[in-house]
A and B are shown apart, each in its own frame.
Chain A
Amino acid sequence: MQQLVAYTIIGLTTGAIYALASSGLLVTYVTSGVFNIAHGAIGMIAAFSYWQVRFEWGWSAPVALIAILGVLCPTLGLVIDRVALRGLAQATEVTRLTATVALMAAFIGIATWIWPPENRQPFRGFFDGNNVSVLGVNVGWNKIIALIAAIAVAVGLRILLYKTRLGIQMRAVVDDRSLAELNGARPARIASASWALGASLAGLAGILLAAEVQLNVVPLTLLVINAYAAAIFGRLKSLPLTFLGAMALGLTEAYLLWGQGQSWFPETIGGFSTAGLRQATPTIFLFLLLMLLPQAKLRAGAARVRERSAIPQWNIAILGAAVLVISSIAVTGMMTRSNTIYLIQALIMALAVVSLVPLTGYAGLVSLAPLTFAGIGAVLMSKMPGDGNIVSLIAVVVVVALIGAVVALPALRLEGIYLALATGAFALLVSILVFNQGKIFSNGVAEVPPLRIPGVDLSQPRPKAIFLSVAFAVVGLLLVALRRSSLGRQFVAMKDSPLAGATLGMNLVRTKALAFAMSAAIASLAGALDAGKVAPDNYTFDRSLPILLLAIVSGVGSIGGAFFGGMLLGSNTVLASIVPSITNITRVTPGLIGLSMGRNPNGTASQIATGFRPVTSHPQSLLTALSGIGALWLLTSVDIISHWGFFAALVIWGLGIVPNLPALAVTSGRSRVLCLLIAAVGMGIAAFFDDIFEAVPTGGRLLAIIVLFVVVGNAIRRIHTPVAPTTKSSPDLMGLTGFTPEELSQSDRAIKVVP
């Protein structure tokens, strides 16, 4: 009996912490419409900062609390609202969701950077060591405070929302944003206030939780899963239900903890260990709740999609595939063994990123679990009989595709954030309950056999790298075929307007399931083709996040974008492993890149493509570009410039100079000479890269190449005569479309719009 009381108290206090976190999440969601995936990460940052000032700098607890909850957290909330999210007000839900995923990734990176795991003092709760006796059970003060804080917040929020002007405005904004605005409320300011409040509540929950579970970046960040579950219990609307959900969750966890200590509790079910069950409780809770939600209603007036992907053209796609394969053959011939292994990792990442092209790029569905499917692919490949037989690979792909569709099926009734959360919950469940089983990864590793192809030894790095680039090229071409097919058009149509699709006869559930199956199948290749020893850590939820981020940032609608994203991720790990001093920067970059997305929802690749468009339509420039590459190749093959020189010069030439060629052709006089001079100097430095940067390790060299290309490209761009940008037809032309461009520019001159 006493045990039961003890565990009930534990449950209630844990529930109280969850309630604090979820109420903060709810407050920001309802007033700003942004479901903050990074909510837990804010709590984590707050907990670390509190620990820093309280235990490292020795501030007193009240001062530390005021500094963190009263200053740091609200500021953080305001900055997030103003800087990161405001620009995305008109973006689609997917984009906004990704922005908060980016935040979460950035916060995890920052925390690991500032507070490395070693030499950490313990995090002590409030009045540590002093207990109170409740019904004969000794309860620590931290738990009592958590309970009191939750009650206080519940009462406080109630008063705020119903008795204060700000609170009434908040509720008005929730009710009808535009109507509230018309009546003098200022939704933007109210959203800022709610972000500040939400961040403080996350911070309080983080600090209280850290005292219970100690400082750990990922577990504290995943506190948010509990908050999600509770918030979904409240249907993202009701605070009382959210509190109730949080308490139920806390109690379930506590009773499971108690049960696991009892003799009657089964240690294994069907041969699978139940050890991860308590850890997985919130996720199971969340998953079940999501499954119980009613079918998403078809709604009119969905957000207008800003992102768009051009239909890939066959000739460009085939050219791209050929260039990829040929250059991987050429480049791997020059690379050292260890660099080839890095290239392999980058190609694996590229496959994982490209798996999101049909799902997120075409069909507009977000998955937080691409690497989970890769992991399943790896596990199946390692268990499959046939030892790397091609038939085994096909079987693995088919099975994972089916798993993708089946897993997705219940989730298909959901949309937007609910769907994203369900995939995230799935990823966590597989990590905790399946991948951690000794049966699945024996001693924490699985041995994925290399694929056996007659005459090719894929256990060697070079053939493996070439094979992976062929695999990527094939997947890319298949995706081009998909996008150009009827099904591909249906995917895009579903993203743009599910309502119109359904009225035209589209079976939305089937279409979504197909998108999930295809994505899972491609992702499984990223696991099954990654021969060697793999660990479950390779496929965790938090590793899937950068994949999604880079996919979206580099242009998830295009295969080239996905390749670019994979390479970026790959080069990130290269940088991190070669130059440990910049590891921390590379940890933060995916998140920071993600946050830049608000400016260009189409991603990097399409920007680069826009830069190249004038070149491809200007034969003279195209010829110059190609002969330049040929000349470099020649110089390298006769050993005048080294392999590094070739690589550097290729980057400077291809990305820095070639996009400027058409403009250079029309520039005259001194500017032209200056531009050519800069180009020549840039190419010279690049060509003799090895001699100039002799002592610099690979990571530093890569950085130097990037800096060189940015400097050269921008210098030339500033000097030459700008080429008129191609005008786009816009809905604001007001019927001017009947005129020729000459007539339009004539009239522009007449009314002095342009000189």
Chain B
Amino acid sequence: MTALLEIRSVAVRFGGVMALSGVDLDVQKDSITGLIGPNGAGKTTLFNVICGIRQPTTGVVLLDNKEINGVPTQKRSAMGIGRTFQRLELFTTLSVFDNVLVAAELARVSNPHAVAREQIELLGLTDRTDTIAGELPTGSARLLEVARALAGRPRLLLLDEPASGLDDVETQQLGVLLQQLKSLGITVLLVEHDMSLIMKVCDQIHVLDLGNVIASGTPDQIQHNPSVIDAYLGAVR
């Protein structure tokens, strides 16, 4: 196994607050890697660093062993990084189809319309193709975020709480989809509070607390790690 993404001693300071204080973690190629931790642990900040929305105060981000620190956000998608947003960032006045189409066109794929249709079908949004994105219920909106990110043809897909707002059946379907993506050669970094989903699909899990990685390992190791139980999982056994 080789690492697709490496985070090396990344620290981010907001004024007097350390949002991330020297994080080290790897995301292996063709894996589903979970990133869990309590609210405010720094998960979204780490996503922003990976996407280039925020520059780390110190430390480096490596993609395919190449440092990408200075690369602007819009160039990172061409390098294969795609993401969804915890607070939805849909193109709310465009239709579902156009949301995905814009992504496909920006990625300069050869047949953007076909790619868009394909992703919408993959996420089960075909019935809503012409719905205005701003009028979608939260669950479908989250799925649309995923479809849009996929249309950019990412190698590394960052998902920020994709299951929040989904019901049990939809969450299960999302789990199946993630496995499918993995088999298609898309590496997934998944932030999620739904522990059953995380434990079911992830190959590797990193636990973040107060800006530090407090544990890394397989789902089984994480579930039995005392410091993780202390900081995050609590009474869930």
The contact of B102 among A493, A729, A731, A734, by CB within 8 Å, is A493
Q: Which of B138-186 contact A (CB under 8 A)?
A: 138, 148-149, 152
Check B135 against A728 for contact (C-beta < 8 Å): yes
| Other-chain contact of B134, A301, A304, A489, A499 (Cβ < 8 Å) | A304
Known: A503-B82, A504-B107. A493 touches B91 (CB 8 A): yes
Contact status of A492 and B94, CB under 8 A, knowing A301-B87, A504-B107, A504-B152:
yes
B149: chain A residues within 8 A (beta carbon): 504
Within 8 A of A (CB), among B34-82: 51, 53, 73-78, 81-82
Whether B93 contacts A505 by the Cβ 8 Å rule is no
Q: Which residues of A contact B74 (CB under 8 A)?
A: 502-503, 505-508
Give chain B nearest CB distance to A312 CB in angstroms: 14
CA distance A300 to B105 in the complex (A): 23
Is B135 a contact of A731 with CB atoms below 8 Å?
yes
Q: For the complex, what is the distance from the CA of A193 to the CA of B50, rounded to whole Å? A: 44
Q: Across the interface, name the chain A residue whose C-beta is closest to B101.
A: A489
Residues of B within 8 A of A499 (CB): 53, 85, 89
Tell me, yes or no, whether A733 is within 8 Å of chain B by CB: yes
Q: Closest chain B residue to A486 by CB distance?
A: B105
CA distance A507 to B82 in the complex (A): 15
Tell me the interface secondary structure of chain A in the complex: loop
- Please report which residues of chain B, range 113-137, place their CB below 8 angstroms from some CB of chain A when the two chains form the complex: 131-132, 134-137
**0/1 string, A706-743, CB within 8 A of B gives 1:** 00000000000000000000001111011101000000
Q: From B53, B81, B98, B138, give the contact of A489 (CB < 8 A).
A: B98
Cβ contacts under 8 Å, A302 to chain B: 89
- Return the contact of A503 from the options B77, B87, B91, B132 (Cβ within 8 A): B77
Q: Does B103 contact A (CB under 8 A)?
A: yes
| Nearest CB in chain A: distance from B75 CB, A | 7
Question: Which A residues contact B (CB, under 8 angstroms)?
Answer: 298, 300-302, 304-305, 307-309, 311, 486, 489-490, 492-493, 495-497, 499-508, 728-731, 733-735, 737
A728, B135: Cα distance in complex, Å: 9
Chain B residues with CB under 8 A of A731: 135-138
Chain B residue with the shortest CB-CB distance to A728: B135
Cα A499 to Cα B107 with chains together (Å): 16
User: Per a CB cutoff under 8 Å, which of A495, A506, A728, A737 touches B106?
Assistant: A506
Please, which residues of chain A bring their CB within 8 A of the CB of B136?
731
Q: Given A308-B132, A728-B135, A729-B131, does the pair A500, B98 have CB atoms closer than 8 Å?
A: no
Q: Are A300 and B89 also in contact (CB < 8 A) when A505-B75, A731-B136, A731-B138 are?
A: yes
Determine the chain B residues whose CB is within 8 A of the CB of A495 once the complex forms: 93
Contact (Cβ within 8 A) A505 B137: no
Docked CA distance A505–B78 (Å):
7
Is the CB–CB distance between B93 and A308 below 8 Å? yes
Cα A497 to Cα B53 with chains together (Å): 14
- With A and B bound together, what is the CA distance between A265 and B95 in angstroms? 60
B77 contacts A500, CB within 8 Å? no
Whether A489 and B90, one on each chain, are in contact in the complex, defined by CB atoms closer than 8 angstroms, is no
* A to B CB contacts below 8 Å, 17 in the list: A298-B53, A298-B73, A300-B87, A301-B87, A301-B89, A304-B134, A305-B92, A307-B93, A308-B93, A493-B91, A496-B92, A496-B93, A497-B89, A497-B91, A504-B102, A505-B77, A729-B135
B103 contacts A504, C-beta separation under 8 Å = yes
Q: How far is the CA of A505 from the CA of B87 in the complex (A)?
A: 19
Q: Across the interface, do A503 and B135 meet the contact criterion of CB distance under 8 Å?
A: no
Does B83 touch A at the CB level, under 8 Å? Answer: yes
The residue that A504 contacts in the complex, of B77, B92, B137, with Cβ under 8 A, is: B77
| Residues in chain B near residue A508, CB distance under 8 A | 74
CB distance from A34 to the nearest CB of B (A): 23
A304 and B73 within 8 A (CB): no
Chain B residues, Cβ within 8 Å of A502: 53, 73-74
Closest residue of chain B to A500 (Cβ to Cβ) is B89
Given A502-B74, A505-B78, A508-B74, A492:B93 Cβ within 8 A: yes
Least CB distance from A487 to B in Å reads 9
Residues of chain A within 8 A of B81, CB atoms compared: 503
In angstroms, Cα B94 to Cα A307, docked, is: 11
- Select one of B53, B91, B138, B152 contacting A496, CB under 8 A: B91
Nearest-neighbor residue (CB-CB) of B107 within chain A: A505
Instruction: State A308–B93 Cα separation when bound (angstroms).
Output: 6
A501 and B134 alpha carbons, distance in the complex (Å): 16
Contacting pair A733 B83 (CB below 8 A): no
A730 nearest in chain B by CB position: B135
Residue of B nearest to A735 (CB): B137
What is the CA–CA distance of A263 and B163 in the complex, to the nearest angstrom? 75
Instruction: With CB as the reference atom, state the residue of chain A lying closest to B95.
Output: A311
A523 to chain B, nearest CB (A): 24
**CB-based nearest B residue for A308:** B93
Shortest C-beta distance, B99 to chain A (Å), equals 8
- B79's nearest neighbour on chain A, judged by CB, is A505
Q: Given contacts A305-B134, A489-B94, A505-B106, list 15 more A-B pairs with CB under 8 A.
A: A298-B73, A304-B92, A307-B93, A311-B95, A486-B112, A489-B102, A492-B94, A492-B98, A501-B91, A504-B77, A504-B82, A504-B102, A504-B106, A506-B106, A731-B138
Interfacial chain A residues near B85, Cβ < 8 Å:
300, 499-500
Question: Which one of A300, A492, A729, A733 contacts B91 once the chains associate, using CB atoms below 8 Å?
Answer: A492
Interface centre among A301, A302, A486, A502 (most CB of B within 10 A): A502
- Given A500-B85, A731-B136, A731-B137, are A505 and B90 also a contact pair (CB < 8 Å)? no
For B87, list chain A residues within 8 Å (CB): 300-301
B-chain residues with CB within 8 Å of residue A503 when the two chains form the complex = 51, 53, 73-74, 76-77, 81-83
Query: A308–B78 contact, CB under 8 A?
Result: no
A502 CA to B82 CA, complexed, in Å: 11
Selected contact of B152 from candidates A308, A493, A505, A733, CB within 8 Å: A505
Chain B residue with the shortest CB-CB distance to A485: B105
Complex CA gap A733/B91 in Å reads 21
Report chain A residues within 8 Å CB of B103.
504
Closest 10 pairs between A and B when the two form their complex, measured CB to CB: A505-B77, A308-B93, A500-B89, A496-B91, A505-B106, A497-B89, A502-B73, A493-B91, A486-B105, A493-B102
* Chain A contacts for B134, CB-based, 8 A: 304-305, 308
- For the complex, give the distance between the alpha carbons of A217 and B136 in Å: 49
A178 to B: closest C-beta gap in Å = 15
Answer whether A504 and B148 are a contact pair too, CB < 8 Å, given A301-B87, A308-B132, A493-B102: yes
**Minimum C-beta distance from A216 to chain B (A):** 42
Choose among A305, A308, A493, A506 the residue with the greatest number of B CB atoms under 10 Å from its CB.
Answer: A493
CA of A734 to CA of B101, assembled, Å:
27
> A298 — which chain B residues lie within 8 A by C-beta?
53, 73
> Nearest Cβ distance between residue B141 and chain A, in whole angstroms?
8
Given contacts A309-B93, A497-B91, A729-B131, contact A490 B137 (CB under 8 A): no
Residue of B73, B82, B101, B152 most packed against chain A (CB within 10 A): B73
Distance, CA A308 to CA B77, complexed state (A): 27
Expressed in whole angstroms, the Cα–Cα distance for A501 and B94 within the complex equals 13
Measured CA separation A496–B93 after assembly (Å): 7
**Residues from chain A with Cβ under 8 Å of B90 in the complex:** 496-497, 500
Q: How far is the CA of A735 from the CA of B170 in the complex (A)?
A: 13
Minimum CB distance partner of A733 in chain B: B137
B93 touches A305 (CB 8 A): yes
- Determine how close the nearest CB of chain B comes to the CB of A128; give it in whole angstroms: 52
A496 and B94 form a contact (CB under 8 A): yes
